[in-house]
Each structure stands twice: as structure tokens, then as C-alpha cells.
Chains A and B, each alone.
Chain A
Amino acid sequence: MFLAIDLSLYITAIKETLFMTFVSSFISYVIGIPLGVLLYSTAKDGLTPNSAVYNFLSLLVNIFRSIPFLILLILILPITRVLVGTTIGAKAVIPPLVFSASPYIARMVESSLKEVDLGVIEAAKSMGATNFQIITKVLLSESKPSLLIGAAITITTILGYSAMAGAVGGGGLGDVAIRYGYYRYNQDIMLITVVLLVIIVQLIQELFMGIARKSDKRL
């Protein structure tokens, strides 16, 4: 049994997984929210319709979303080196995760914002709100529950992608599962890492759904 001997192995792996997941989720949201707002605003029924900008952004987002993560991971290695100074280890996985997750988040944000009743936006306009005020005080705040549900889906997806980090020696639970469990065919380790991943996904999912439920005043 590896369980007792290599407890530190799992702890390190969990830490790496959470590090990769949350740091890249955070950065991806910093990029994805403005991008999503821009998509929403420039769309046909948006605040400032602009089909040129919308089509360009939409294409860009779709391109990045359609590249398989493993390919993207390798494709942007030069950029990764510039950004984090290395192409191996947990840090090196963050840029590809961000590249992959930001467009995904942008779409999630766009669709959450679209759920906001146009009448409410019209009401805000009738009160003399600026577009920026409408975005920050109406759109983002009214769609908060939907954004949180989106975050639960996004973060667990990023967690899943981070498991592929093993390919660049990135570490984390996925890496352990592949190296010890798959290559060395150690079923115990495989099982434990998978169970740990399931627990983490479950926790993140429940946590965010819980916050979403609690923050939603419509119910």
C-alpha cells in the first residue's frame, strides 16, 4: 500500500491541483468577465451593438475553444516560457489553462448576462444610468446566481484539464494518477487519486451551488 508511506505525495498533489485550478480560474475570470461583457454589449441586442467587434471577438473565442487542450498546451509553450519563465511544473500549466478557460468563461458570462430581463435594463436606462452603471450595477449584480453556477461548472472543468498537466510534468492529482497509477499500473494509487478528484469536484460544485442558491433572491 502506498497510502501510508506516501501520504505527503497526495497532500502535495492536492495542493498543486488546487493551486493550478484556483490560480488559473482566477486569472481566467479576470480576462473572461470583461470579454463576456464585451461580447454581450456588442451583440445585436446589446448596449452598444457593433457587429464588427462582436464577430471578431466571437471568432477569436471560438478558435480558442475548439483547440483541444493538450494541443494548446504544446502550441503555446513559447508564450508560457515568456509568461512564467518555465515550461514545466504546475506554474507552466497556468497559461494554457487560462488560454483555454478564458474564452469558455467569456461565453458563460455572455449567456448569464443574456438571462437578465431586458425590461430591467430599459428601466435603468430610463433612470439615466450610464452603460457602465448598467453593466456593473444591473447586469453583473442581477446575474450573480447564474454567474456562480457558471463558475461551479467552469472551475470543475479547469480542474479536469489540470489533470492533463502530467503531460508537461505539471504535477497535481492527475499527474500522480497517470504516472503512478497508469504508467506503473498501480491500481491503488489510481483509485485513491480518482476518489480524491471526485471529492474535490464535488466540494467545489456544492460550495458554488450553495452560494448561488443562497445569493439568489428570486426564490
Chain B
Amino acid sequence: MAIIEIKNLKKVFTTKNDKLVALQDINISIEKGEIFGIIGLSGAGKSTLVRMINFLERPTEGDVYFENKNIGTLNAKELRNIRKEIGMIFQNFNLLEQKNVLKNVLFPLEISGAEKETSIKKAKELLELVDLSDKEKSYPSQLSGGQKQRVAIARALATNPKVLLCDEATSALDPKTTNQILNLLKRINRELGVTVVIITHQMSVIENICDRVAILDQSRVVEMGAVNEVFKAPKSDIGKKLIFGATENKDVDFEKSNNKTCLRLAFDGSMTNEPIIADMVLTTKHSVSILYANSRMIDGKMLGQIIIELPDDKEIQLKMKQFLDSKNIIYWEV
């Protein structure tokens, strides 16, 4: 069942002499219990999109449904109550600097008018969950980035939300801390059943913990699907760029000579036993050069890619493509 449904969403920012379409034709349905990632380059409209889920930003057009309730039709009080069911964490943590860790976690309970003693008990449990029990009297300025984000997570969970929105939650953190936070989010998802929505520009975040992903480019969703599917064969240009282009290997730098036809082959773990390239060469009786290859684990599945340079002869090229088609290999020209 979809917990969040975004329908035909559009956001236009109107400045004095200009109209900027930040988002348009957005249709996303986020299932209960999943970890959903939204990725895009900066300026793609990711942060605006996540803010329209809890109506921190109002859509210009379109609707957002939370558990089948149209958020746009709620009055101020109903909206505030919905927000208590949707926790949110941020890139810059946004902790109350003048309050200690415990009081930060207590804050959402305090504004909900919850009873003090049960609140304190709840806050301490959450600090235990994020492994910060020993820091409850510390102030945010005394904590590291990762610790601050853990406090923010505990705070966001205080009102027992059904959804946790993460706006670039790991972008200000180093890789090791990022992994700790991602593992924590995964645990919260698995153990507490909280649906997690992650906004990021880091492919590794999606790769690590997301079940499904939507790729945002130039104010639209250009691609959406299960993470291993999308990673295996991204269809959109931006998807290819995000997945194969700017990875930690910087593999875009393979040396492609001019006018040569190159193919990028994507394959998953089920085919790694088959000598595809060798078979192709034997079948077509023509050799190819391998310019680049890599493989990685995504969600427990091995995904790989190879870039090959084809001979110039168009006929041979066609034969090779036909061979790949017959083996159900996904490829495209690069």
C-alpha cells in the first residue's frame, strides 16, 4: 500500500520578473515500509520535492496524499498533526544549539504537549537506539557531525512517525560516518517499520540502502524503479551519468578514439559465468578491445559493466549487436 502518493505535482517559483519551474509532472508513489531514494544533481529540485511531502513548500499544482489523505486540503491544525507523523532530518542537522541533547529529543514531544515523565523515558530510549545515551547532557556544539545527525534522527523519531524524510542527511559527513548513519537508517526501517525517503546527490547512498529510486533531472522524474534494475541498465542520460559516470572510479575517462563505435554492456550476477565477450568474438570472428570494466555489489547482487570498442565495419557491428541481443545483454552506444 502506498503511504505517500504524489500526483501531477508542479512547483513554480515566481520572482519579480521571472518564473522558474522547479518541478513538473511529478508522479511518485512510495510504498509503506520501503526505503525510497530520490537522486539528482544539485538544482534538480530534490529538496523542493521532499519539502512538498510535508508541505513545508506548497505545490503550485497537484496533490500529495499521506495515507490517502490529501494534505493540500487539510487546515493548519490537521497539517501540524500530519507533520508529527512525518519526521524529517536535514543536511545541516538543524539542532537547537542552546538545548542539550536530551532536550533536543524532547522538543517535539514538548510541543505536542506530551506528558513529561513518559517523554523523558521515550527520549532516553531513542538516545539508546542511536547509541548516544552517554551524551544526553552534551550540547550540539560538543558533538561531531555524525553524532549530531544521530541526535536529529532520535528527535525526528520522538513522535513515532510513520515516515522519515532525509534531506541530504549524509552530505555533510565523511564516508565512514555516512555509512554509520545509513546503517542506522536501515535499522530504523527494518526494526521500527518506518518508511524512509532519502534525498541525495550521492549515488553510493542509493546503492547502499534504497529499495527503489527516482532520478530527477531538470525538474522532472526521468527514471524510476527498483534500485538493482535501474543500476543495471539506466535508461536516462542523467541516470547513466550518475551511475556510470561520476562513480568513485571516475570511469568516464576511458580512452575512446574518435569515430570509433563503443558499447557499454551491463550485466548482473546471473551471467558472470558466461564468457560473453569471448563467445561474441568467436561467433563473429572479429576481435574487440575492452576499454573499461568494473563490477560492484548492489543490494547483494553483483552488477558489472564493460566498455568495448567495435571494429569499424558496420556489418560486423550489426552482427555483434545481434549476438548481444540473443544473449539478452543490455547495452548502448557511448
Interface residues of A, Cβ cutoff 8 Å to B: 117, 119-120, 122-130, 133, 137-138, 141-142, 144-145, 215-219
Chain A residue nearest to B54 (CB atoms) is A126
Chain B residue nearest to A127 (CB atoms) is B108
Mark each residue of chain B from 75 to 114: 1 if its CB lies under 8 Å from any CB of chain A, else 0: 0000011111011101010111111100000011011100
Residue contact A127 to B111, C-beta cutoff 8 Å: yes
Residue contact A141 to B96, C-beta cutoff 8 Å: yes
Using known A-B contacts A128-B81, A128-B112, A217-B139, determine if residue A119 contacts B97 with beta carbons closer than 8 Å: no
Residue contact A127 to B90, C-beta cutoff 8 Å: no
Residue contact B94 to A119, C-beta cutoff 8 Å: yes
Does B56 count as interface, using CB distance less than 8 angstroms? Answer: yes
Residue numbers in A under 8 Å from B81 (CB-CB): 128
Distance in angstroms from A24 CB to nearest chain B CB is 28
Residue numbers in A under 8 Å from B84 (CB-CB): 127-128
A116, B80: Cα distance in complex, Å: 22
Does B141 count as interface, using CB distance less than 8 angstroms? Answer: yes
Residue numbers in A under 8 Å from B110 (CB-CB): 137
Q: Which 3 A-B residue pairs are closest in the complex by CB-CB distance?
A: A123-B94, A128-B83, A128-B80
Interface residues of B, Cβ cutoff 8 Å to A: 54, 56, 80-84, 86-88, 90, 92, 94-100, 107-108, 110-112, 139-141, 152, 155-156, 159, 165
A219, B142: Cα distance in complex, Å: 8
Chain B residue nearest to A137 (CB atoms) is B111
Overall SS of chain B's interface: mixed
Residue numbers in A under 8 Å from B100 (CB-CB): 217
A102, B221: Cα distance in complex, Å: 52
Residue contact B98 to A217, C-beta cutoff 8 Å: yes
Residue contact B98 to A137, C-beta cutoff 8 Å: no
Residue contact A142 to B96, C-beta cutoff 8 Å: yes
A219, B84: Cα distance in complex, Å: 31
A133, B156: Cα distance in complex, Å: 17
Using known A-B contacts A125-B56, A128-B112, determine if residue A141 contacts B98 with beta carbons closer than 8 Å: yes
A132, B86: Cα distance in complex, Å: 21
Residue contact B83 to A126, C-beta cutoff 8 Å: yes
Residue numbers in B under 8 Å from A126 (CB-CB): 54, 56, 83, 86-88, 165
Residue contact A123 to B90, C-beta cutoff 8 Å: yes
A-B contact pairs, 6 of them (CB 8 A): A127-B84, A127-B87, A128-B108, A129-B111, A217-B99, A217-B139
Residue contact A138 to B88, C-beta cutoff 8 Å: no
Residue contact B111 to A117, C-beta cutoff 8 Å: no
Chain B residue nearest to A219 (CB atoms) is B141
Residue numbers in A under 8 Å from B80 (CB-CB): 128-130
Residue numbers in A under 8 Å from B141 (CB-CB): 217-219
Distance in angstroms from B65 CB to nearest chain A CB is 18
Chain B residue nearest to A133 (CB atoms) is B111
Distance in angstroms from A115 CB to nearest chain B CB is 11
Residue contact A117 to B94, C-beta cutoff 8 Å: yes
A141, B54: Cα distance in complex, Å: 25
Residue contact A217 to B97, C-beta cutoff 8 Å: yes
Residue contact A120 to B111, C-beta cutoff 8 Å: no
A43, B98: Cα distance in complex, Å: 24
Residue contact A122 to B97, C-beta cutoff 8 Å: no
Residue numbers in B under 8 Å from A122 (CB-CB): 56, 90, 94
Distance in angstroms from B119 CB to nearest chain A CB is 13
Residue contact B98 to A216, C-beta cutoff 8 Å: yes
A217, B95: Cα distance in complex, Å: 12
A216, B140: Cα distance in complex, Å: 12
Distance in angstroms from A30 CB to nearest chain B CB is 23
Residue numbers in A under 8 Å from B140 (CB-CB): 217
Residue numbers in B under 8 Å from A145 (CB-CB): 98
Residue numbers in A under 8 Å from B98 (CB-CB): 141-142, 144-145, 215-218
Residue numbers in A under 8 Å from B155 (CB-CB): 127
Residue contact A127 to B83, C-beta cutoff 8 Å: yes
Residue numbers in A under 8 Å from B86 (CB-CB): 126
A126, B197: Cα distance in complex, Å: 14
A215, B111: Cα distance in complex, Å: 23
Residue numbers in A under 8 Å from B165 (CB-CB): 126
Residue contact B139 to A125, C-beta cutoff 8 Å: no
A128, B96: Cα distance in complex, Å: 15
Q: Which of the listed residues B97, B139, B140 has the most CB atoms from chain A within 10 Å of its own CB?
A: B97
Residue numbers in B under 8 Å from A120 (CB-CB): 94-97
A137, B140: Cα distance in complex, Å: 17
Residue numbers in B under 8 Å from A129 (CB-CB): 80, 111
Distance in angstroms from B79 CB to nearest chain A CB is 8
A128, B66: Cα distance in complex, Å: 15
A199, B165: Cα distance in complex, Å: 55
Q: Which of the listed residues A123, A142, A219 has the most CB atoms from chain B within 10 Å of its own CB?
A: A123
Residue contact A127 to B96, C-beta cutoff 8 Å: no
Chain B residue nearest to A138 (CB atoms) is B96
Residue contact B107 to A127, C-beta cutoff 8 Å: yes
